Amino acid sequence: MLQYTARRLLITVPVLWAAFTLSFLLIRAAPGDPVDIMFGPQESGGGVEAVTKEQKDQRRRELGINQPLPVQYVAWFGRVLHGDIGTSFKSRRSVFVELQQRLPATLTLAAASFTIKVVVVVGLGILAAAKVGSIWDHLVRLFALVLIAMPSFWLGLLLLWLFAVHFQWVTVAGPATPQRVVLPAVTLGLVTAPTVMRVLRASLLAELGRAHVVFSRAKGLPEHLILWRHTLRLAMLPAVTLLGISLTYLMTGSVIIESVFSWPGVGKYVMDSIQARDYPVIQGFVLLATAITVFGNLLVDLAYGLLDPRIRLGTAGQT
Amino acid sequence: MADAEVAERLVAPPAAPVAAAGRAGTLAGELQAEATHALAQAGLQPAVTRPRRKINWLIVTGGVILALVLGLTLAAPMLAPYHPAEQRARERLQGPSRAHPMGTDRLGRDIYSRVLYGGQTSLSASSIALGVTLTIGVALGLLAGYAGGWVDGAIMRLVDVLLAFPSFILALIVAGLYGPGLLKVVLAATAVWWVSYARVTRSLVLQAKQEGYVQAARAAGARPLSIAVREVLPQILGPIVVLATLNLGRLILTLSGLSFLGMGAQPPTAEWGLMLSEGKAYFMEFQHMMVFPGLMIFVTVLGLTLLGEGLRDVLDPNGAAGRA
Amino acid sequence: MSALAPPALASAPGEPASGRDPRTALEVRDLTVAYPTPAGTVVALQGASFSLRRGETLALMGESGCGKSTLGRALLGLLAPPGRIERGTITLAGRRVERLSQREWQPLRGREISMLMQDPMLALNPVLPIGLQLSETVRDARGRVPPKREVRARGMALLRSVGFEDPDRVWRSYPFQLSGGMQQRAALAISLVNRPRVLVADEPTTALDVRVQAQVLDVIRKLQAELDLAVVLITHDVGVAAALATDVAVLYAGRLVELGPAQQVLATPTHPYTAGLLACLPSPSGGLPRPLGGHPPSLIEPPDRCPFIPRCARADATCQTNRFPALAKQRPGSWRRAITPSLTRSRRTRARRQRRRDP
pLDDT, one tens digit per residue, over C174-216 is 999 999 999 999 999 999 999 999 999 999 988 888 888 889 9
- Distance in Å, alpha carbon of A4 to nearest chain C alpha carbon: 17
**String of DSSP letters for B137-181:** HHHHHHHHHHH-HHHHHHHHHHHHHHHTS-HHHHHHHHHHHS---
Q: CA–CA separation, C45 vs C225, rounded Å? A: 30
* Phi, psi of C342, rounded to the nearest 5 degrees: -60, 145
- Within a 10 A sphere around the Cβ of B220, how many other Cβ atoms? 8
The total number of structural domains that make up chain A: 2
What per-residue confidence (pLDDT) applies to A34? 65
Q: What is the percentage of chain B residues whose pLDDT exceeds 90?
A: 14
Handedness of CA B122, B126, B129, B131 (dihedral sign): negative
Cβ distance of C174 and A307 shorter than 8 Å: no
Say if residue A299's pLDDT is above 60: yes
Nearest to C80 among B32, B41, B42 (CB): B32
pLDDT tens digits, one per residue of B205-258: 887 777 777 778 777 777 777 777 777 777 778 888 888 898 899 899 988 998
Q: Give the B window 221-250 contacts with A, CB below 8 Å.
A: 249
What per-residue confidence (pLDDT) applies to A1? 62
What per-residue confidence (pLDDT) applies to B34? 44
C180 lies in some domain: no
3-class state of residue B304 by DSSP: helix
List b or e across C68-95, with b for residues whose CB sees 16 or more CB atoms inside 10 angstroms: bbbbbbbbbbbbbeebebeebbbbbbee
Per the CB < 8 A criterion, the answer to whether A116 and A257 are in contact is no
pLDDT tens digits, one per residue of B253-265: 988 998 898 888 8
- CA-nearest of A316, A259, A287 to A99 is A287
Say if residue B15's pLDDT is above 50: no
Asked whether residue A109 falls in the same domain as residue A50, the answer is no
Asked whether residue A62 falls in the same domain as residue A136, the answer is no
Cα atoms found within 13 Å of the Cα of residue B117, Cβ hemisphere only: 20
Q: In what helix (H) or strand (E) does residue B307 lie, and over which residues does it extend?
A: helix B288-315
- Distance in Å, alpha carbon of B77 to nearest chain C alpha carbon: 49
* Phi, psi of C257, rounded to the nearest 5 degrees: -110, -20
Q: What is the mean pLDDT of chain A?
A: 80
Say if residue B46's pLDDT is above 70: no
Nearest CA in chain B to C123: B25
Say if residue B16's pLDDT is above 60: no
Burial class (CB in 10 A: 0-12, 13-18, 19+), B88: middle
- Within a 10 A sphere around the Cβ of C244, how many other Cβ atoms? 22
Nearest to A220 among C106, C123, C125 (CB): C106
pTM above 0.80, yes or no: no
- Distance in Å, alpha carbon of A308 to nearest chain C alpha carbon: 6
Whether B172 and chain A come into contact, CB under 8 Å, resolves to: yes
Cα atoms found within 13 Å of the Cα of residue B43, Cβ hemisphere only: 0
pLDDT band at residue A312 using 50, 70 and 90 as cut-offs: low
C75 lies in some domain: yes
- CA-nearest of C117, C276, C284 to C207 is C117
Asked whether residue A51 falls in the same domain as residue A128, the answer is no
DSSP B282: T
What separation, in Å, do the N-terminal and C-terminal C-alpha atoms of chain C show? 33
Asked whether residue A130 falls in the same domain as residue A240, the answer is yes
The total number of structural domains that make up chain C: 1
What per-residue confidence (pLDDT) applies to B177? 74
Q: What is the mean pLDDT of chain B?
A: 75
Asked whether residue A124 falls in the same domain as residue A255, the answer is yes
* Phi, psi of C50, rounded to the nearest 5 degrees: -170, 170
- CA dihedral in degrees (A151, A155, A157, A163; nearest 10)? 180
Cβ distance of C69 and B34 shorter than 8 Å: yes
Q: With contacts defined as CB-CB under 8 Å, which chain A residues touch C127?
A: 233-234, 307-310
pLDDT band at residue B2 using 50, 70 and 90 as cut-offs: very low
What per-residue confidence (pLDDT) applies to C342? 60
Asked whether residue A18 falls in the same domain as residue A124, the answer is no
Asked whether residue A168 falls in the same domain as residue A31, the answer is no
Q: CA–CA separation, A165 vs A283, rounded Å? A: 38
Asked whether residue A154 falls in the same domain as residue A231, the answer is yes
* Domain of residue A33, residue span: 12-81
pLDDT tens digits, one per residue of C291-301: 666 667 767 66
Whether A316 and chain B come into contact, CB under 8 Å, resolves to: yes
Q: CA–CA separation, A263 vs A256, rounded Å? A: 10
Whether B42 and chain C come into contact, CB under 8 Å, resolves to: yes
Q: Cis before residue C82, ω within 30 degrees of 0? A: yes
Type of residue found at A281: V
What number is the ipTM of this complex?
0.83
Cβ distance of B30 and C67 shorter than 8 Å: no
Cβ distance of B161 and A319 shorter than 8 Å: no
A2 lies in some domain: no
Whether C107 and chain A come into contact, CB under 8 Å, resolves to: yes
- Within a 10 A sphere around the Cβ of C193, how many other Cβ atoms? 24
Q: Cis before residue C296, ω within 30 degrees of 0? A: no
C163 lies in some domain: no
Whether C244 and chain A come into contact, CB under 8 Å, resolves to: no
C142 lies in some domain: no
- Within a 10 A sphere around the Cβ of C21, how many other Cβ atoms? 13
> Which residues, including other chains, have CB under 8 Å from residue C261's CB and lie 6 or more apart?
C1, C2, C4, C246, C247, C248, C333, C334
Per the CB < 8 A criterion, the answer to whether A155 and A187 are in contact is yes
Q: What domains, with CATH codes, occur in chain B?
A: 57-82+107-323 (1.10.3720.10)
CA distances from C50 to A21, B278, C4, C207, C250 (A): 75, 79, 6, 27, 12
What per-residue confidence (pLDDT) applies to A32? 66
Handedness of CA B29, B31, B32, B37 (dihedral sign): positive
A20 lies in some domain: yes
pLDDT band at residue A61 using 50, 70 and 90 as cut-offs: confident
Asked whether residue A223 falls in the same domain as residue A152, the answer is yes
A299 lies in some domain: no
Biggest CA–CA distance in chain A, Å, is: 87
A210 lies in some domain: yes
CATH of the domain at C282: 3.40.50.300
Nearest CA in chain A to C123: A212
Q: What is the percentage of chain B residues whose pLDDT exceeds 70?
A: 80
List b or e across A243-274, with b for residues whose CB sees 16 or more CB atoms inside 10 angstroms: bbbbbbbbbbbbbbbbbbbebbbbbbbbbebb
3-class state of residue C58 by DSSP: strand
pLDDT band at residue B187 using 50, 70 and 90 as cut-offs: confident
pLDDT tens digits, one per residue of A10-59: 767 777 777 677 777 777 777 666 666 666 544 444 444 556 777 777 77
Nearest to C67 among B20, B23, B34 (CB): B34
Poorest-confidence range of A37-41, A58-62, A306-310? Answer: A37-41
- Within a 10 A sphere around the Cβ of A76, how many other Cβ atoms? 20
Q: CA–CA separation, C74 vs A130, rounded Å? A: 23
Rounded to an integer, the average pLDDT of A118-127 is 92
Say if residue A185's pLDDT is above 80: yes
Q: CA–CA separation, B24 vs C110, rounded Å? A: 25
Cβ distance of C128 and A230 shorter than 8 Å: yes
Q: Tens of pLDDT along chain C (359 residues)? A: 344 545 444 433 333 444 467 788 999 999 999 988 877 788 888 888 898 999 999 999 887 778 888 999 999 999 887 888 999 999 998 889 999 988 899 999 999 999 999 899 999 998 899 999 999 999 887 888 899 999 999 999 999 999 999 999 999 999 999 999 999 999 999 999 999 999 999 999 888 888 888 899 999 999 999 999 999 999 888 888 888 999 999 888 888 888 888 888 888 887 778 887 877 766 555 556 666 666 677 676 666 767 777 777 666 666 677 767 666 666 666 667 666 656 554 444 444 545 554 44
Asked whether residue A75 falls in the same domain as residue A109, the answer is no
Cβ distance of B298 and A154 shorter than 8 Å: yes
Rg of chain A's alpha carbons, rounded to an integer? 25
CATH of the domain at A124: 1.10.3720.10
Q: CA–CA separation, C277 vs A183, rounded Å? A: 71
User: Which of the given ranges, A214-218, B99-103, B193-197, has the highest pLDDT on average?
Assistant: A214-218
Using left for φ > 0, alpha for ψ between -120 and 50, and beta otherwise, residue A132 falls in: beta
Q: With contacts defined as CB-CB under 8 Å, which chain C residues touch A220?
A: 106-111, 114, 137, 139, 194
Asked whether residue A147 falls in the same domain as residue A252, the answer is yes
- CA-nearest of C285, C336, C340, C289 to C314 is C340
- B13 vs A109, which has greater pLDDT? A109
Per the CB < 8 A criterion, the answer to whether C250 and C63 are in contact is no
Q: CA–CA separation, A264 vs A258, rounded Å? A: 7
Cα atoms found within 13 Å of the Cα of residue A141, Cβ hemisphere only: 16
Say if residue B273's pLDDT is above 70: yes
* Domain of residue C104, residue span: 1-112+196-290+298-359
A302 lies in some domain: no
- Distance in Å, alpha carbon of B25 to nearest chain C alpha carbon: 6
* Strand C84-92 relative to strand C24-37, pairing: antiparallel
Rounded to an integer, the average pLDDT of B150-167 is 79
Rounded to an integer, the average pLDDT of A90-104 is 85
- Within a 10 A sphere around the Cβ of C289, how many other Cβ atoms? 11
A280 lies in some domain: no
- A67 vs A253, which has greater pLDDT? A67
List b or e across C247-267, with b for residues whose CB sees 16 or more CB atoms inside 10 angstroms: bbbbbbbbbbbbbbbbebbbe
Per the CB < 8 A criterion, the answer to whether C37 and C217 are in contact is no
Whether A17 and chain B come into contact, CB under 8 Å, resolves to: no
